[in-house]
């Protein structure tokens, strides 16, 4: 039974769904956000450890590399709806911003305000302030949010029919998929909508956790938990034949962190989307032994001892240069999802799905994702803004 009919239905009240609603005035037309969980924006609230690293400083032209292979496809969308636009939008709604040192950004300076800012946060360091700005504007634009409305089916017949788990069916002229990825399923992002899209014949790249800690066989560093190292090169060697870089799936230089169970920190998180269980991961510490923390020096020296107990200097040197392990697993609790709706199926100017009239996909539900540093929320903003533009044009 069809209970209600809408012009536009947004599935998901996460960052991207709310950013879209905040940029699209319904002007009295019927529209609704359907949110399966009981609370909107759970993942946005967790972001940046609750501080919300909303975007990154510098020119938007320098963002493309952060999305790897997807950077070029996202170019137009990012350039048109940039970090500067997002920062100005928040500033105009009373959310003061600060750089990663906590120094306030003066948005009256225009693009200069973002020069060298690095990671950008609300000056209050509270993700709640960012969430409140988006929900307040969405509400001003006439969008109701219906929580506890879990979508269980999607059908394209004379517009769109959306089934809810309680049996209700809702009709819509346009549907925006803003349902996120598969990680942190307790926030409501469980990949269920991606399965529905696949059943419709839309290409879905297998979703898997990314920006996640990596666990290895015979991990020797449990006692170093909490120690972080700068300027480490982390390389993963994927089995994926499509890998472009001479047997390496990805390499990243930056900070790494030892945990009780495995490797974490930005350099590790940023290559995790390319890592696969059973494959090799390499750490090159880019330092002399004496440049490492004392506790690590001890562990490395012990690992370089031969049967007689002598330290083999060549083994020690090779551990410093290429400390190799076999990957046991990648933590399911990745900060984002690699995989999702294939960009090749998308019209990247409008974020609509080719061949499916009135169907849009934005945010983390897309195949693209960025490295740590605010690039994922920027992706949500830019894709949401592009879809909003097209929906405004469509009237």
Which one of residues 8, 13, 86, 256 is an interface residue with ligand FAD (CB under 6 A)? 13
Which two structure tokens, joined as six digits, stand for 343?
A: 């960009």
The reply on whether position 257 binds ligand FAD by CB under 6 A is no
Interface pick for ligand FAD out of 21, 31, 32, 43 (rule CB under 6 A): 43
Lookup result for tokens 């046991």: 328
Q: Is 189 in the site for ligand FAD (CB under 6 A)?
A: yes
Bridge partners, residue 210, by sequence: 336
* DSSP structure class, residue 41: T
- Which of 22, 77, 380, 386 forms a contact with ligand FAD (CB under 6 A)? 380
Tell the smallest beta-carbon distance from residue 15 to ligand FAD (Å): 4
Question: CB under 6 A: which stretch of 218-226, 301-309, 339-347, 368-376 binds ligand FAD?
Answer: 368-376
Site map (CB under 6 A) of ligand FAD, residues 309-338, x = contact: --------------------------xx--
Binding of ligand FAD at residue 382 (CB under 6 A)? no
Does 270 interact with ligand FAD (rule: CB under 6 A)?
A: no
Please, what is the angle between helix 15-23 and helix 127-140, to 10°?
Answer: 40
Rounded to a whole number of angstroms, the minimum distance from the CB of residue 233 to ligand FAD is 24
Among 10, 20, 24, 44, binds ligand FAD (CB under 6 A): 44
Minimum CB separation of residue 14 from ligand FAD in Å reads 2
Residue 191 Cβ vs ligand FAD, minimum distance, rounded to whole Å: 8
Instruction: Name 303's Cβ contacts closer than 8 Å, sequence gap at least 6.
Output: 220, 315, 319
Determine, following the binding rule CB under 6 A, whether residue 46 of this chain makes contact with ligand FAD. yes
**Nearest residue to 250 (alpha-carbon basis) of 226, 229, 276:** 276
For residues 317 and 300, give the distance between their C-alpha atoms in angstroms, rounded to a whole number: 10
- DSSP H/E element including 339: strand 336-341
388 touches ligand FAD by CB under 6 A: no
Among 179, 233, 235, 329, binds ligand FAD (CB under 6 A): 179
Q: Does 363 bind ligand FAD (CB under 6 A)?
A: yes
Q: Which of 22, 90, 114, 151: binder of ligand FAD (CB under 6 A)?
A: 151
Nearer to ligand FAD, 233 or 382 (CB): 382
Cα–Cα distances in Å, from 385 out to 128, 189, 361, 378?
21, 21, 12, 10
Distance between CA atoms of residues 128 and 95, nearest Å: 11
Residue 150 binding ligand FAD, by CB under 6 A = yes
Per the CB < 8 A criterion, the answer to whether 346 and 352 are in contact is: yes
How far is it, in rounded angstroms, from Cα 385 to Cα 388?
A: 5
Q: Phi first, then psi: give them for residue 261, nearest 5 degrees.
A: -110, -15
Q: Which residues pair with 334 in a beta bridge?
A: none
377 binds ligand FAD (CB under 6 A): yes
Q: How far apart are CA 303 and CA 366, in angstroms?
A: 43
Q: Is 236 in the site for ligand FAD (CB under 6 A)?
A: no
- Least distance (Å) from ligand FAD to the CB of residue 291? 30
Contacts of residue 361, Cβ cutoff 8 Å, sequence gap at least 6: 176, 177, 197, 340, 341, 346, 351, 353, 383
If we measure between CA atoms, which residue out of 89, 86, 91, 85 comes closest to residue 104? 91
- Rounded Cα gap, residues 100 and 374, in angstroms: 11
Q: How far is the CB of 136 from ligand FAD (least distance, A)?
A: 17
Q: Taking the complex as a whole, how short is the minimal distance between the CB of residue 203 and ligand FAD, in angstroms? A: 18
CB of 162 to ligand FAD, least distance (A): 9
Alpha helices in the chain (DSSP H): 15-23, 42-46, 71-80, 83-92, 127-140, 192-199, 266-271, 294-303, 313-321, 375-394
Nearer to ligand FAD, 13 or 224 (CB): 13
Q: Which residues bind ligand FAD (CB under 6 A)?
A: 11-17, 34-37, 43-44, 46-48, 52-53, 150-151, 178-180, 184, 188-190, 192-193, 335-336, 363-365, 374-377, 380
């Amino acid at each position: 039974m069809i209970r209600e009919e809408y012009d536009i239905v947004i599935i998901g009240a996460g960052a991207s769904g709310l950013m879209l609603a905040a940029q699209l005035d319904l002007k009295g037309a019927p529209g609704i956000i359907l949110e399966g969980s009981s609370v909107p924006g759970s993942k946005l609230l967790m972001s940046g450890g609750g501080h919300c690293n909303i975007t990154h400083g510098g020119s938007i032209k320098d963002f493309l590399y952060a999305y790897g292979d997807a950077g070029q496809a996202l170019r137009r969308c990012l350039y048109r709806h940039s970090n500067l636009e997002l920062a100005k939008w928040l500033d105009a709604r009373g959310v003061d911003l600060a750089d990663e040192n906590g120094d306030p950004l003066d948005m009256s300076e225009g693009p200069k305000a973002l020069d060298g800012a690095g990671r950008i946060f609300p000056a209050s360091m509270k993700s709640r302030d960012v969430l409140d700005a988006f929900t307040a504007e969405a509400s001003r634009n006439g969008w109701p949010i219906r929580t506890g409305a879990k979508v269980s089916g999607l059908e394209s017949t004379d517009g769109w029919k959306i089934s809810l788990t309680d049996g209700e069916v809702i009709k819509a002229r346009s549907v925006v998929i803003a349902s996120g990825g598969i990680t942190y399923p307790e926030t409501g992002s469980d990949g269920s909508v991606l399965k529905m899209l696949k059943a419709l014949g839309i290409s879905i790249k297998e979703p898997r956790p990314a920006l996640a800690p990596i666990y290895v066989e015979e991990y020797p560093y449990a006692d170093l938990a909490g120690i972080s190292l700068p300027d480490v090169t982390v390389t993963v060697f994927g089995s994926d034949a499509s890998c472009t870089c001479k047997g390496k799936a990805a390499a990243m230089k930056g900070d790494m962190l030892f945990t009780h169970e495995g490797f974490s920190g930005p350099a590790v998180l940023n290559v995790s989307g390319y890592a696969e269980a059973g494959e090799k991961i390499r750490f090159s510490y880019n330092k002399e032994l004496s440049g490492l923390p004392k506790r690590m020096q001890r562990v490395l020296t012990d690992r370089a001892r031969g049967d007689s107990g002598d330290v083999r200097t060549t083994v020690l040197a090779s551990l410093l240069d290429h400390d190799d392990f076999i990957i046991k697993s990648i933590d399911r609790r990745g900060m984002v999802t690699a995989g999702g709706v294939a960009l090749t199926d998308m019209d990247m100017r409008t974020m609509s799905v080719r061949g499916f009239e009135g169907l849009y996909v934005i945010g983390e539900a897309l195949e693209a994702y960025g490295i740590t540093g605010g690039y994922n929320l920027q992706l949500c903003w830019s894709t949401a803004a592009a879809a909003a533009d097209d929906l405004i044009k469509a009237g």
